[in-house]
């Protein structure tokens, strides 16, 4: 082999390894090579870069996780009164699932299960978290982000977090770096809202620090007591110039909207609700652009369509449903922008995109936004009974769309039983990652189902209501364990809880599903379901 060929081979090798090392080497040898050879080398570099981008063993994974978006809230799931062209397009290019489930009917437990592969009810402290909760997923726990990182991915979380930050609840100093944040659980980059838009602190956290921190307005947060001299929604309703509360949300006022919890300061760092979608989408696109040459995982958790619904002006008034519809349109826009960025960088056929939601829909969730009055025949939970918080299917049935250009067949619909708790193990299979023993305890690999095959599906999935009542769902049945609690949510939203002192069994394949309790007609099925719950509860 002559020396020049050796040189080329060597450099081919290092193009496939370290880019910066390669670039340094190129500069060093530029002087020694003929122009023709340089052209050949540059072409080689370009080719391997493209190949890297198209390495299907390590596709990028983008998980777009909406908040409170119901099974029936997207046009491609039959939504009335609202257009979602960008989501429709992804559904047309991929698979639309009709029997997919979040593990819980509220945010914190649902996200906990998704990101750890473990049911949230196995732990005490995983219910809807305040904005000053300590980090619920502990650094020693293995997460979806850790898994991707172990397979060589660059990882990020952008948008709604709602799983706590810092070491201890109520002990955070928001004016200094947080001692524990998402960097400790596998995310290379994060730009997040600590909890929800209706909970303080109303600032973004970027890599463990308040983004755009304003030194002149130190931040204090308290969930029990107000700070002296600070107005509240309760005492100063005249200051709620952007949106008034319908129930709760009467503590601190930020941007003319009442919140849960008290905060002081923030100044220029305070978010404007109308810009949240723009802000997180911009950060997501920046992340894609900066990481386009190596595999990445992005957890993109939108604030839409959670309350307070206060979308940007440009989405206002274009549908009959008021701000709840506008927030759905804004969500669809965010999806479209992300797809556009992938197209721009030629990453579409090397990126698996999954769209879903953390729990079922809610209409009035505490603000006078007229969402209830303006439904105009739209059914946010589609055909299902109950909404967010509920044990009925409307609480946990969620839209799921999977799209991967040229890899999953187009325009499919699948009724295979899916649970978000399995996504950690399924993605691990996709990227060839190993899970440490004992991690992702409840997560099973069902990648083939996610990619369109119907065989080897789960036999049952478990779901939890906001009061931790458990249900078992199979392809045919829905079993809700007996519980005493009230039939309706007590604090504002007009939602059936699903509580019943008797066991409830519904035939989900009958035309009147979730109307007729057939537990008495099928004692064996009830027994089997109870056994599943008993067994699962006794594990771990």
Binding site for ligand NG6 (CB under 6 A): 67-68, 106-107, 128, 162, 196, 198, 247-249, 260, 306-307, 359, 365-366, 491-492
Tell me the closest approach of the beta carbon of residue 358 to Ca ion, in angstroms. 4
Beta bridge partners of 210: 205
507 in contact with Ca ion (CB under 5 A): no
Tell me the closest approach of the beta carbon of residue 260 to ligand NG6, in angstroms. 5
How much helix, strand and coil, in percent to the nearest 5, is found in the chain? 30, 15, 50
Tell me the closest approach of the beta carbon of residue 261 to ligand NG6, in angstroms. 10
- Residue 535 CB partners (closer than 8 Å, separation 6+): none
Token pair for 209: 């620090």
Q: How many helices (H) and strands (E) does the chain have?
A: 11, 20
Which DSSP string do the residues of 167-180 spell out, in sequence order? SSTT---TTS--SS
Q: Which does 385 bind (CB under 5 to 8 A by kind): ligand NG6, Ca ion, none?
A: none
Q: Distance between CA 100 and CA 449 in Å, rounded?
A: 11
Q: Which does 365 bind (CB under 5 to 8 A by kind): ligand NG6, Ca ion, none?
A: ligand NG6
| Nearer of residues 370 and 429 to ligand NG6, judged by Cβ | 370
| Nearer of residues 68 and 442 to ligand NG6, judged by Cβ | 68
| Nearer of residues 68 and 184 to Ca ion, judged by Cβ | 68
Count CB neighbours of 43 within 10 A: 10
Residue written as token pair 């067994």: 535
Q: Are 127 and 466 in contact (CB under 8 A)?
A: yes
Q: Which does 146 bind (CB under 5 to 8 A by kind): ligand NG6, Ca ion, none?
A: none
| Nearer of residues 41 and 195 to ligand NG6, judged by Cβ | 195
Tell me the closest approach of the beta carbon of residue 102 to Ca ion, in angstroms. 9
Tell me the closest approach of the beta carbon of residue 259 to ligand NG6, in angstroms. 9
359 in contact with Ca ion (CB under 5 A): yes
Q: Which does 234 bind (CB under 5 to 8 A by kind): Ca ion, ligand NG6, none?
A: none
**Residue count, binding to Ca ion (CB under 5 A):** 5
Helix axes 107-116, 423-431, angle to 10 degrees: 30
Tell me the closest approach of the beta carbon of residue 224 to Ca ion, in angstroms. 24
Restricted to residues 48-87, the positions that interact with Ca ion (CB under 5 A) are 67-68
Tell me the closest approach of the beta carbon of residue 359 to ligand NG6, in angstroms. 6
| Nearer of residues 41 and 163 to ligand NG6, judged by Cβ | 163
Burial class (CB in 10 A: 0-12, 13-18, 19+), 461: buried
Closest CA to 256 of 194, 218, 205, 308: 308
| Nearer of residues 162 and 405 to ligand NG6, judged by Cβ | 162
Q: Distance between CA 453 and CA 517 in Å, rounded?
A: 32
Q: Which does 263 bind (CB under 5 to 8 A by kind): Ca ion, ligand NG6, none?
A: none
Q: Which does 307 bind (CB under 5 to 8 A by kind): Ca ion, ligand NG6, none?
A: ligand NG6
What sections of 74-203 are H helices per DSSP?
85-92, 107-116, 144-150
Phi/psi-derived region of residue 171, left when phi > 0, alpha when psi is between -120 and 50, beta in every other case: alpha
Q: Which does 196 bind (CB under 5 to 8 A by kind): Ca ion, ligand NG6, none?
A: ligand NG6
Tell me the closest approach of the beta carbon of residue 501 to ligand NG6, in angstroms. 25
22 in contact with Ca ion (CB under 5 A): no
**Binding string, 158-187, against Ca ion, x = CB under 5 A?**
------------------------------
Q: Determine the residue with CB nearest Ca ion.
A: 107
Q: Distance between CA 398 and CA 214 in Å, rounded?
A: 39
Q: Distance between CA 100 and CA 271 in Å, rounded?
A: 33
Tell me the closest approach of the beta carbon of residue 107 to ligand NG6, in angstroms. 3
Q: Distance between CA 375 and CA 319 in Å, rounded?
A: 10
Burial class (CB in 10 A: 0-12, 13-18, 19+), 528: middle
| Nearer of residues 251 and 431 to ligand NG6, judged by Cβ | 251
Look at residue 332 and give its three-state secondary structure.
helix
326 in contact with Ca ion (CB under 5 A): no
Q: Are 507 and 476 in contact (CB under 8 A)?
A: yes
Tell me the closest approach of the beta carbon of residue 129 to ligand NG6, in angstroms. 8
Q: Which does 260 bind (CB under 5 to 8 A by kind): ligand NG6, Ca ion, none?
A: ligand NG6
Restricted to residues 94-153, the positions that interact with Ca ion (CB under 5 A) are 107
What strands, in cross-sheet order, belong to the sheet with 470-473?
461-464, 470-473, 477-480, 504-507
Q: Determine the residue with CB nearest ligand NG6.
A: 248
Q: Is the peptide bond before 54 cis (omega within 30 degrees of 0)?
A: no
DSSP one-letter code for 281: H
Tell me the closest approach of the beta carbon of residue 350 to ligand NG6, in angstroms. 32
| Nearer of residues 170 and 482 to ligand NG6, judged by Cβ | 170
Q: Are 221 and 200 in contact (CB under 8 A)?
A: yes
- Please select the residue that binds Ca ion; options are 73, 358, 463, 507, rule is CB under 5 A: 358
Note the residues at the interface with Ca ion (CB under 5 A).
67-68, 107, 358-359
């Amino acid at each position: 082999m002559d020396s020049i060929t050796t040189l080329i081979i060597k450099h081919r090798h290092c193009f496939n390894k370290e880019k910066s090392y390669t670039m340094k080497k190129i500069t060093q040898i530029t002087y020694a090579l003929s122009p023709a050879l340089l052209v050949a080398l540059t072409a080689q570099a370009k080719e391997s870069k493209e190949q890297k981008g198209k390495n299907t063993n390590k596709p990028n994974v983008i998980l777009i996780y909406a908040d409170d978006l119901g099974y029936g809230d997207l046009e491609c799931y039959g939504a009335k009164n609202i257009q979602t062209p960008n989501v429709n397009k992804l559904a047309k290019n991929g698979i639309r699932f009709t029997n997919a489930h979040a593990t819980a009917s509220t945010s914190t437990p649902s996200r906990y299960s998704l990101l750890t592969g473990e049911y949230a009810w196995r732990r005490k402290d995983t219910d809807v978290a305040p904005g000053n909760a300590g980090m619920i997923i502990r650094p020693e726990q293995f997460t979806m982000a850790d898994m991707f990182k172990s397979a060589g991915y660059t990882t990020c979380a952008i948008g709604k977090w709602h799983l706590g930050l810092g070491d201890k609840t109520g002990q955070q100093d928001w004016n200094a770096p947080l001692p524990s944040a998402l960097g400790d659980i596998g995310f290379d980059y994060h730009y997040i809202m600590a909890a929800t838009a209706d909970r303080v602190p109303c600032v973004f956290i970027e890599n463990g620090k308040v983004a755009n921190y304003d030194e002149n307005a130190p931040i204090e947060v308290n969930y029990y007591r107000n700070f002296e001299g600070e107005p509240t929604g309760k005492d100063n309703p005249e200051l709620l110039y952007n949106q008034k509360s319908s129930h709760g949300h009467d503590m601190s006022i930020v941007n003319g909207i009442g919140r849960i919890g008290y905060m002081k300061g923030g100044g220029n760092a305070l978010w404007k609700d109308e810009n949240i979608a723009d802000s997180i989408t911009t950060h997501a696109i920046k992340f894609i652009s900066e990481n386009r040459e190596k595999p990445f995982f992005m957890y993109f958790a939108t604030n839409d369509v959670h309350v307070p619904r206060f979308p940007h002006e440009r989405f206002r008034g274009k549908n009959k449903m008021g701000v709840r519809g506008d927030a759905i349109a804004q969500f669809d826009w965010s999806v479209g922008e992300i797809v556009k960025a992938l197209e721009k960088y030629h990453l579409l056929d090397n990126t698996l995109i999954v769209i879903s939601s953390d729990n079922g829909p809610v209409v009035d969730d505490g603000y006078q936004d007229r969402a209830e009055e303006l439904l105009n025949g739209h059914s946010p939970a589609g055909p299902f009974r109950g909404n967010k918080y509920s044990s009925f299917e409307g609480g946990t049935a969620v839209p799921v769309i999977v799209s991967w250009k040229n890899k999953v067949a187009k325009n499919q619909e699948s009724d295979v039983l899916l649970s978000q708790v399995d996504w950690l193990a399924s993605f691990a299979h996709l990227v060839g990652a190993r899970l440490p023993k004992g991690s992702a305890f409840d997560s099973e690999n069902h990648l083939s189902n996610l990619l369109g095959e119907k065989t080897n599906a789960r036999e049952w999935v478990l779901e939890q209501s906001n009061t931790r009542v458990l249900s078992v769902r199979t392809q045919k049945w829905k079993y809700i364990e007996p519980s005493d609690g009230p039939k309706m949510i007590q604090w504002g939203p007009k939602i059936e809880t699903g509580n019943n002192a008797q066991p409830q069994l519904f035939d989900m394949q009958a035309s009147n599903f979730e109307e007729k309790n057939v537990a008495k007609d099928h004692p064996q099925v009830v027994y089997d379901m109870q056994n599943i719950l008993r067994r699962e509860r006794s594990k771990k």
